[in-house]
């Protein structure tokens, strides 16, 4: 699933499964782009087989934070850190996309495993899809209205129980965090990583 705005300086919120070899754990990939710049990936191996049953994958996106959750358990929180110069996606309308796409040049074990097209067609199915969002019309967001600001999600944050579950997931199931990748960022980690 992807939320994305159009243009060359787009905003984007990614919640994606990467390819895998049969028998290997599935990798859930998250990323946040602002003004066309991403490089804020976190990846997880889930605590269950995501192909065995339907699961709920959700994104809470409000002016203060973006929270990625699986079956109600938060796995990632990206906080609005504009006060320290970190761009946050909040000024562009986005559309939601869901697709299967070929990213075997990087996504499957770093591009080592290529898509086996003899298994095509590939399918995904969804049920109970729900979206509660601000609408963009005539250059304005409906979030400017007091009705939208009164929606619970507009100011929702993680309570202590959710914070504990987030820490549990990140301690036990996170396999990549851009905030700890000193090889990728030899000149220093991104500023939001240094203040976390």
Q: Kindly list the catalytic residues.
A: 12, 16
User: Is 99:16 a contact under the CB 8 Å cutoff?
Assistant: no
3-state secondary structure of 86: coil
Who contacts 154 (Cβ-Cβ below 8 Å, separation ≥6)? 62, 63, 143, 148
Element (DSSP H or E) covering residue 122: none
Beta carbons of 41 and 30 less than 8 angstroms apart: yes
The answer to whether 79 and 166 have CB atoms below 8 angstroms apart is no
Q: Is the dihedral of CA 54, 67, 150, 88 positive or negative?
A: negative
Q: Other CB atoms closer than 10 Å to residue 74's CB: what's the count? A: 21
Measured on CA atoms in the order 60, 63, 66, 67, is the torsion positive or negative?
A: negative
């Amino acid at each position: 699933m992807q939320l994305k705005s159009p243009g060359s300086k787009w905003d984007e919120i990614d919640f994606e499964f990467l390819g895998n070899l049969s028998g290997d754990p599935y990798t859930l990939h998250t990323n946040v782009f602002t003004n066309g710049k991403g490089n804020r990936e976190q990846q997880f191996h889930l605590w269950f087989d995501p192909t065995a049953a339907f699961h709920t994958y959700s994104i809470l996106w409000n002016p203060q934070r973006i929270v990625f959750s699986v079956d109600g358990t938060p796995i990632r929180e990206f906080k609005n850190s504009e006060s320290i110069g970190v761009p946050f996606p909040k000024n562009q309308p986005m559309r939601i996309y869901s697709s299967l796409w070929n990213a075997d040049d990087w996504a499957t074990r770093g591009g080592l495993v290529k898509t086996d097209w003899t298994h095509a067609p590939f399918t995904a199915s969804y049920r109970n899809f729900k979206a509660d969002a601000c609408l963009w019309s005539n250059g304005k967001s409906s979030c400017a209205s007091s009705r939208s600001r009164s929606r619970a999600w507009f100011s929702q944050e993680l309570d202590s129980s959710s914070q504990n579950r987030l820490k549990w997931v990140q301690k036990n199931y996170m396999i990549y965090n851009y905030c700890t990748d000193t090889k990728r960022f030899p000149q220093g980690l991104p500023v939001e990583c240094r203040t976390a």
